[in-house]
Chains A and B, each alone.
Chain A
Amino acid sequence: MAEFFTTNLIEYVSLSEAWATPLGYILAAMIHIALLLNVVAVGALGFIWLERKVAGRIQDRLGPTRVGGRFGWLQTLADGLKLITKEDLMPAAADPFLFRVAPYVAFCASFAAYLALPFATGWVGQHLNVAVFFILAVLGIEVFGVILAGYGSASKWSLFGAMREAAQVVSYEVPLGLCVIVPVMIAGTMDLIAIGDMQAGMVWNWFIFHDPFTFITFWVFFTCATASVNRAPFDLAEAESELVAGFHTEYSGLRWSFFFMAEYGSMFLVSVLAAILFFGGWNGPIPITEIIGLNETNGALAGYVGNLLGMTNLIIKASLGVTVMIWVRWSFPRLRIDQVITTCLKYCTPIAAMMFLGAALWILYLPGGLWATLRLSDPLGHTREAAPDQQAAAMPADGERE
């Protein structure tokens, strides 16, 4: 997109190349950011509404019904307006700088991770060949926002929440990282687009069905992801029955809503990540778009429509993940801090490590995956090859060099 702007700036605005190139990059970056900000904000709006509706359904009530028609789908916007008009309070004893900066740190961490998150082949803010690594690393920064909030609030309850968050998130990043390595190992790349494309074809090409180890890995991943984004039953940092509201006890209005957006942003993020790593990303269970020829080879428009359908596919899968998280939240009591840490150290980490080992051996001896081993044919002739070859396919530059 940057080249598009640069060439057009040179051609139509007759800027010199020295000016046009940086300007083109800035314009492209701003468009990407605007698009992503919309994805995060609209996504959060949608998921907050979904949370309220699902909670209502679970609890035998209606949830929002008025704002924006029958289903109350504009309720979140009305809430947002209310939050903007609320007084921006800060405790007298709070550290003013840390208190103010904390919500932005939390939100930016969640938002920045979206930069590397692809929504379809080539539809990504910034194509990174280490996207998985980048997302996990940036998501980990969110904890700083929470710790700063807890420390800066000068409230004991906030401090409790922050300490719990620190203990919990840092512990859960270990099994989370181990779980993520398993699909990365099968794909042989950290490039999320390559990982997604590799799972094209029938449903058994999805990495979750690659072998029994990946199947178990997914459940561990989902548990750890729930814990690392602070969702119930692991929502200890804000445990409202114990810590009043945990780290955001002292926050009000818009600052508070930034924490809220960050929470829902990360929730969607880990769900998209799970969908790409385990559930075929933008590839449907049956490759319909491929069968009817909606891809780049049949023209740009066909490719665009195909990508759009793929993105819909991905969003549906991720929304299902978010719905499960919501469902869990409204069904289960909260764990205690020692139980949370025990779950991580005694169960999640060893299981993840075992799955890592198992998957590694599986790839070594049965590189085609379970279904190729069982000789299930693929109607479209997708074949799964050994990891090193896939890596070569995913990175043509390396292949050419050879």
Chain B
Amino acid sequence: MSTDVDDPRIVEFDVRTDEMLVNMGPQHPSTHGVLRLVLRTDGEIVSEVTPHIGYLHRCAEKIGENLTPRQWIPYTDRMDYLAGMNMNLGWSLTVEKLLNYELPEKARHLRVIIAELNRIASHFVGMGAYGLDLGTFSPFLYAFREREKILDLFEDACGARLTYSYITPGGATDDLPAGWLKKCETFLDQLLAVIDECHTLLTTNEIFIRRTVNVGVLSPEMAINYGCTGPVLRGSGVDHDLRRDGEERYTEMYDGYAFEVICETDGHYPSDHDYPPVPESAVLGDCWHRFYVRMLEVIQAMDLIRQAMDRYSTAEGDYGVPIKLFEKLPKGEVYLETECPRGQMGFYLVSDGTSIPWRTRARSSCFSNLSVTEELCRGVLLADVPAVVGSLDIVMGEIDR
């Protein structure tokens, strides 16, 4: 028996059903790592969700205050381990900002190729894992099959498959090997068919639509208030992408590239591909939109990689500036945010003039994105909790650092 209580957390004494506190996680199949959600449930209805974090804390920021910026790069890999290249890029740009490096053109285009390729890999994991959250297995394996090909490309470029440490302050550790661009081109050529497959299995699937449409609706105001970024923000229809709106040092990488920010304006997404239509019942800011934005960003990233490869092959200069080991950092403090697959990842660095930073801090996008869980999950059904949390696409490594 339920009563009409304005706040579902208030349950009066004459209500005969018991509330139940359930721990979802830290060992739970759909909490994307070691997130712990404490659910207050009344039958199937969840009245309160409290996320608990910290199970994957590895003191990365403190370690950064004992290492030179170049030595700290492997630790950035392990933050968002699904997008290690983008983490490397964010930190490298921050250090370059402090040192005031000017990068050769070739290094910039190389970074675009690598960062966007990693974005595809990361979004594919997010898409596949979201399928798992909703109870379908096959898209996950299709996604991983494609990600495997990207990892092969990364392995050719830098030797590592997950924690790359490839992009470093001043450029990259090495140039792309001969024939790499051709392999990448072959990979991109067959990717579109796979994305269509995923659209069939998920985006346009009737059950998927019913599970995600109008679930966990995040209004643009709330998204901004909670500091949500990335696809979560753009899924709510806020036109904001650091690749276009960011700091000069970051946006100059994308200078002259033709791309549009993926977000719904006037009921339409910027499209020049044959995208599946938005279902009529979809509400801006629901789980379906967040998922859809990621799917579109994959196609956009493919386009950006193609442009970057053209530029890279004709670009002047080297893949980086000559490396100066144990270089003394100039005194000062810098902060830079970049557009990572999951949102805006910021790095903060304070230097006292030695070669080791006095302070290093990281601003996690997933942390802000996760903070809306409590709002979105109030009053939903139990099965919607994985659907909402999955649509935020969090990586605990980045939240806990």
Binding site for B on A (CB under 8 A): 55, 58-61, 156-157, 160, 163-164, 232-233, 235-236, 239-244, 330-339
Complex interface: chain A residues within 8 A of B211 (CB): 333-336, 339
A240 to B29, CA, bound (A): 7
- The answer to whether B141 has its CB under 8 Å from any CB of chain A is yes
Q: Is B386 an interface residue (CB 8 A)?
A: yes
Residue of A nearest to B140 (CB): A59
Cα A334 to Cα B210 in complex, Å, equals 10
A244 touches B28 (CB 8 A): yes
Residue B107 CB within 8 A of the other chain: no
Interface-facing stretch out of B126-134, B277-285, B343-351: B126-134
B22 at the interface (CB under 8 A from A): yes
Residues of chain A contacted by B137 (CB below 8 angstroms):
55, 59, 330
- When distances are taken between beta carbons in the complex, the residues of chain B under 8 Å from A333 are 131, 134-136, 202, 205, 207-208, 211
Asked if B99 lies at the interface with its beta carbon under 8 angstroms from chain A, I say no
Contact B138 A241 (CB under 8 A): no
Residue ID in chain A nearest B137 by CB atoms: A330
Q: Quick check: A338 and B207 within 8 Å, CB to CB? A: no
Q: Once the chains are docked, how many angstroms separate the CA of A61 from the CA of B140? A: 12
Q: Is B224 an interface residue (CB 8 A)?
A: no
In the complex the two chains form, is A242's CB within 8 Å of B30's CB?
yes
Of the listed residues A58, A241, A244, A333, the one surrounded by the most CB atoms of chain B closer than 10 A to its CB is A333
Of all chain A residues, which has the CB nearest B135? A334
- B residues contacting A by CB (< 8 A) are 20, 22, 28-30, 43-44, 131-138, 141-142, 145, 201-202, 205, 207-208, 210-211, 381-386
> Which chain B positions have C-beta within 8 A of A336?
210-211, 381, 383-384
Interface pairs A-B: 5 shortest CB-CB = A334-B135, A333-B134, A59-B141, A241-B30, A333-B136
Once the chains bind, are B205 and A332 in contact (CB under 8 Å)?
Answer: yes
In Å, the complex CA distance between A243 and B20 comes to 14
What chain B residues lie within 8 Å of A232 (beta carbons)?
A: 135
Minimum CB distance partner of B132 in chain A: A241
Q: Once the chains bind, are A58 and B386 in contact (CB under 8 Å)? A: no
Contact partner, B382, options A58, A242, A330, Cβ 8 Å: A242
Extra contacts, 17 of them, besides A61-B141, A156-B22, A163-B43 (Cβ < 8 A), are A156-B20, A232-B135, A236-B383, A241-B30, A241-B132, A241-B133, A241-B134, A244-B29, A330-B136, A330-B137, A330-B138, A331-B138, A333-B136, A334-B136, A336-B210, A336-B211, A336-B381
* CB–CB A160/B382 < 8 A: yes
Question: How far apart are A155's CB and chain B's nearest CB, in angstroms?
Answer: 10
Q: For the complex, what is the distance from the CA of A242 to the CA of B134, rounded to whole Å?
A: 9
Residues of A within 8 A of B385 (CB): 242
Given known pairs A240-B29, A241-B30, A331-B138, the reply for A337 and B205 (CB within 8 Å) is no
Complex A-B: 26 CB contacts under 8 Å: A58-B138, A59-B138, A59-B141, A59-B142, A61-B141, A164-B44, A232-B135, A233-B207, A235-B135, A236-B383, A239-B383, A240-B135, A241-B30, A241-B132, A242-B385, A244-B28, A330-B136, A330-B137, A331-B201, A333-B134, A333-B207, A333-B211, A336-B210, A337-B381, A337-B382, A338-B44
Provide the bound-state CA to CA distance between A43 and B77, in Å.
49
Chain B residues lying within 8 Å of A243, measured Cβ to Cβ, are 382
Are A157 and B142 interface neighbours, CB within 8 A?
no
Residues on the A chain within 8 Å of B134, using CB? 241, 333-334
Hey, which chain A residues are within 8 Å of B205, CB to CB? 332-333
Among residues of B, the one whose C-beta sits closest to the C-beta of A236 is: B383
CB nearest to B131 among chain A residues: A333
List residues of chain A with CB within 8 A of the CB of B20. Answer: 156
Cα–Cα distance between A339 and B211 once the two chains are bound (Å): 9
Enumerate chain B residues within 8 angstroms of A61, measured Cβ to Cβ: 141
List of B residues within 8 angstroms of A242 by Cβ = 30, 382-383, 385-386
Closest Cβ neighbor of B387 among chain A residues: A336
Query: Which B residues touch A244, using CB under 8 A?
Result: 28-29
What's the nearest-Cβ distance from chain A to residue B76, in Å?
Answer: 30
* Chain B residues near A240 (CB-CB < 8 A): 29, 135
Query: Complex formed: what's the CA distance from A236 to B135 in Å?
Result: 10
